[in-house]
């Protein structure tokens, strides 16, 4: 019987459905709490509904999957033939998802390696794809983990938000907290640093911030073979335009994904988010 290593991630990876199906990646959903309703990301709440709720200043919070959900996922994969599982998740600095997965892994019927990737969105998605490719090539659990961790270490994400208010409400703002007093006077560019959301640069206008986002993405890509993801929330035209410019400017571009972020990330960034993930192969 051939070795089978299953790959699990969470719904904040925002992987294209076709990619998940092609590589057999299992996704565990986080939850968005809208008023008194708890809704699973990806199936029970649309980004449009989220954006409307945020614009109306309705109470929106997020929560991790329960350890029981992870336990059931690991058990189901073992019953389907997996003899090892790699479970890759968004930064533990941003969510308790990693901790819930660790608790479930202790009781799993097969070995489970849970990884705090320190990243989110397609930065996490690229890690899951890399782990899946390693497993498909006959790699062990350890080899799939090593491949994913290497991909995470080389991947960077920069993003622009219209306002820091949503990040402040959710307590996800990190060192950018110091910007709040001057938030109306600047348009910040943020990045993931050591698993946290940190200030990268302060720019005076939205148009200049987006232009700078493009320049940073091109600089980080360089001449290497890279995958890029452009993310947005309620900013489809801006994302499409940015993607077109990057296609023309990045010589080593392999794959480029354009997608709207889901409700969990959107709840903390708000409408108008525009971001780019650069991931060398």
One DSSP character per residue, 25-38 reads -EEEPPEEEETTEE
Are 151 and 279 spatial neighbours (Cβ–Cβ below 8 Å)? yes
- Sequence ranges of the domains in the chain: 5-30+65-153, 156-280
Q: Which fold has domain 156-280?
A: Hypothetical Protein Tm841; Chain: A;domain 3 (3.30.1180)
pLDDT tens track, the chain, 281 positions = 345 999 999 999 999 889 999 999 999 999 888 777 787 877 767 777 777 777 777 777 788 999 999 999 999 999 999 999 999 999 999 899 999 999 999 999 999 999 999 999 999 999 999 999 999 999 999 999 999 999 999 999 999 988 777 776 655 555 445 555 445 557 889 898 888 888 888 888 899 999 999 999 999 999 999 999 999 998 999 999 999 999 999 999 999 999 988 888 888 788 889 999 999 99
What is the bridge-based pairing of β-strands 84-89 and 5-10?
parallel
Are 254 and 228 spatial neighbours (Cβ–Cβ below 8 Å)? no
CATH architecture for residues 5-30+65-153: 3-Layer(aba) Sandwich (3.40)
**Minimal CA–CA distance to 40: which of 48, 29, 51, 49?**
29
Q: How far are the Cα atoms of 54, 159, 174, 203, 247 from residue 180, in angstroms, in the given order?
A: 19, 17, 11, 14, 34
Please give the pLDDT value at position 2.
44
Neighbours of 122 (CB within 10 A): 29
Tell me the C-alpha distance between 47 and 154, whole Å.
29
- Tell me the three state secondary structure of residue 72: helix
**Model pTM greater than 0.75?**
yes
């Amino acid at each position: 019987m051939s070795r089978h290593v299953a790959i699990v991630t969470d719904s904040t990876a925002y992987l294209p459905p076709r990619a998940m199906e092609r590589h057999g990646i299992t996704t565990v959903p986080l939850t968005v709490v809208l008023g008194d309703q708890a809704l699973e990301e990806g199936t029970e709440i649309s980004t449009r509904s989220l954006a409307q709720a945020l614009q109306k200043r309705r109470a929106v919070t997020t929560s991790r999957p329960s350890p029981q959900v992870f336990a059931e996922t690991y058990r189901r994969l073992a019953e389907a033939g997996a003899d090892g599982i790699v479970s890759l998740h968004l930064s533990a600095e941003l969510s308790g998802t990693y901790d819930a997965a660790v608790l479930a892994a202790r009781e799993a019927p097969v070995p489970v390696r849970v990884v705090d990737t320190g990243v989110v969105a397609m930065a996490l998605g690229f890690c899951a794809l890399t782990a899946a490719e390693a497993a498909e090539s006959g790699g062990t659990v350890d080899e799939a983990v090593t491949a994913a961790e290497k991909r995470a270490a080389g991947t960077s994400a920069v993003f622009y938000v219209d306002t820091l208010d949503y990040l402040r409400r959710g307590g996800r703002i990190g060192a950018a907290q110091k910007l709040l007093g001057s938030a109306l006077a600047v348009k910040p560019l943020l990045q993931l640093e050591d698993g946290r959301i940190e200030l990268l640069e302060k720019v005076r206008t939205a148009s200049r911030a987006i232009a700078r986002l493009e320049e940073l993405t091109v600089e980080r890509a360089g001449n290497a073979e890279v995958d890029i993801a452009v993310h947005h929330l309620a900013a489809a035209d801006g994302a499409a335009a940015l993607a077109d410019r990057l296609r023309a400017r990045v010589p080593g571009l392999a794959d480029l994904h354009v997608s709207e972020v889901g409700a969990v990330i959107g709840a903390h960034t708000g409408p108008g988010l525009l971001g780019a993930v650069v991931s060398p192969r």
